[in-house]
Structure 1
Amino acid sequence: MSRLIVIGGSKGIGNAIITSLLSSYDEVVNISRTPPENESENLKHYSCDVINDELPEIDSADGLVYCPGSINLKPINRLSIDDFKNDFEINVLGAVKAIQKYLPSLKNGNNPSIVLFSTVATKLGMPFHASVAASKSAVEGLTKSLGAELAPTVRVNAIAPTVTDTELASKLLRNERMIENMNDRHPLKKYLQPQEVADMAGFLLSQKAASLSGQVFEMDCGIVSFKI
């Protein structure tokens, strides 16, 4: 039986991934504090705080996606050490915990793949992003290191999106002027929709990406890649 595990699939990008891939797997397992809005016979939900709770036992899996993230934007003199610790715990240690838990399950799967999430802020110096950029940079290091360590059995890749229209980014898109400014900042004159990121995740999980591991894919709408 083909099975995908999604950590944090109740909202935003994670929910878009679940919705997009329900028909591609015999079972999609969502692990998050709140259930997703989706209802399907092949969708199973475990209510779980990934950081603080024991993760459920799952005997085999073909894919693992770790979606939890944070957007904690403050000047450096207003960022506490606890802010850095919390962002690191959510973005990095949670991913490590999930991978350590489900690596035996993935090794029992068929052409297994892991997808993690970074951000364009690791490549593009942006004010007020010190904490999130530091933790997501660690995710990129984890991606490359584990990609090498787990080859050829398990592929590991990451997606680094720019601003995406989710609840997490709602403060950055809270009115028409901010939306217009966000579009103008990107050379492609747009920011991301969750489905676009879900499509990339689906590709990286699939056999179409069988030759890709240890890579970080910037979905940046041109903001990192171009100077126009």
Structure 2
Amino acid sequence: MQPEEAMNQIDLSGQHAVVTGGAQGLGFAMAKRIVASGATVTLWDIDESLLASARETLGGAATTAVVDISDWEQVDAARRRTEEIAAPASLLVNSAGIAGAAAPLDTYDIAMWKKIIDINVNGTFYVNRALVPGMKERNYGRIVNIASVAGKEGNPNAAAYSASKAAVMGLTKSLGKELAGYDIAVNCITPATAQTRILEQLTPEFIEYMRSRIPRGRFLEVDEAASMVAWLLSKENSFTTAATFDLSGGRTTY
């Protein structure tokens, strides 16, 4: 990854972003890039201690809200709090998600399946459902939903995660078409496995399997994902919507 001083300059000044899962991993890297591009940000995350640390790192450009995105009432309350303590969101990054356990479908734990769908699919729906009305009223918004290469290809022993990320892509395409008459862009990215804490949920064997599928021969770095997302959030992204952007290190070709 290029050093920070070599980053392309993206202008997000005057904008306010909500980043779910923003206290760590991909979400935090994206929040850092958003702030570096001139916007303010509110981090939504379920981990209060990590939120406090992330806010301290980002300084005065960041506010936080503790929220479980799988609970609609908490999501709607977080929207109201964000508007009270910061500003209405013109930018949205849906990064919160879980991988869940690796196991064959025919023995997969039912509760784990429901939890993955609740967070990755219903949570993404709830957050979009909460923030899109305001974007429509103001006729401006940029939304990036974080899917996965697993949603394109399907990973063995990860049917729940793969299905959930395929659903995120379908949701993105539908919403992008619904909002195409507004100055609102809705897109998603499909990253390969990134070097984040989500790997802690996986076995070493499964981690090595995932690495072996990437022609680049390594996992995605979080700043590389943040670079792509920064442009998707910019005013320059004025035409592309309802699209999926590959970030798989060569793994997928479609």
On whether the aligned pair clears a TM of 0.5, the verdict is: yes
| Aligned match for 1:161, one of 166, 169, 191 | 191
Does 1:39 pair with 2:68? no
Residue in structure 2 matched with residue 29 of structure 1 by the alignment: 42
Contact kept, 8 Å, 2:32 with 2:58, in 1: the verdict is: no
Contact kept, 8 Å, 2:35 with 2:58, in 1: the verdict is: no
Q: 1:44-193 residue pairs with structure 2 within 5 A?
A: 44-52=63-71, 53=74, 54-57=77-80, 58=83, 60-72=88-100, 73-109=102-138, 111-153=140-182, 154-170=184-200, 183-193=211-221
Residue in structure 2 matched with residue 219 of structure 1 by the alignment: 247
Q: Return the alpha-carbon distance in structure 2 between the equivalents of residues 13 and 71 of structure 1.
A: 14
Distance 1:209 1:6, change over 3 A: same
Identity %: 29
Distance 1:77 1:8, change over 3 A: same
Deviation, 1:106, is 2.1
Deviation by residue 1:54-88 (Cα, 9 ceiling, x = unmatched)? 32312522211111112122111221332222111
Q: Return the alpha-carbon distance in structure 2 between the equivalents of residues 19 and 125 of structure 1.
A: 30
SS of 1:209's equivalent? coil
Contact kept, 8 Å, 1:111 with 1:207, in 2: the verdict is: no
Q: Return the alpha-carbon distance in structure 2 between the equivalents of residues 19 and 27 of structure 1.
A: 10
SS of 2:59's equivalent? coil
Q: Return the alpha-carbon distance in structure 2 between the equivalents of residues 109 and 193 of structure 1.
A: 34
Q: Return the alpha-carbon distance in structure 2 between the equivalents of residues 188 and 26 of structure 1.
A: 32
Contact kept, 8 Å, 1:182 with 1:190, in 2: the verdict is: no
Task: Give the CA RMSD over aligned residues.
Answer: 2.3
SS of 1:4's equivalent? strand
Distance 1:23 1:187, change over 3 A: closer
More helix by share: 2
* TM-score, normalisation: structure 2: 0.80
Q: Return the alpha-carbon distance in structure 2 between the equivalents of residues 126 and 97 of structure 1.
A: 26
Contact kept, 8 Å, 2:30 with 2:230, in 1: the verdict is: yes
Distance 1:11 1:173, change over 3 A: farther
Which amino acid counterpart does residue 199 of structure 2 have in structure 1?
Answer: A
Which amino acid counterpart does residue 106 of structure 1 have in structure 2?
Answer: M
Contact kept, 8 Å, 1:62 with 1:110, in 2: the verdict is: no
Unaligned runs of 5+ in 2: 1-13
* TM-score, normalisation: structure 1: 0.88
Which amino acid counterpart does residue 147 of structure 2 have in structure 1?
Answer: S
Q: Return the alpha-carbon distance in structure 2 between the equivalents of residues 125 and 56 of structure 1.
A: 33
Q: Return the alpha-carbon distance in structure 2 between the equivalents of residues 171 and 82 of structure 1.
A: 16
SS of 2:186's equivalent? strand
In the alignment of these two chains, the number of paired residues is 224
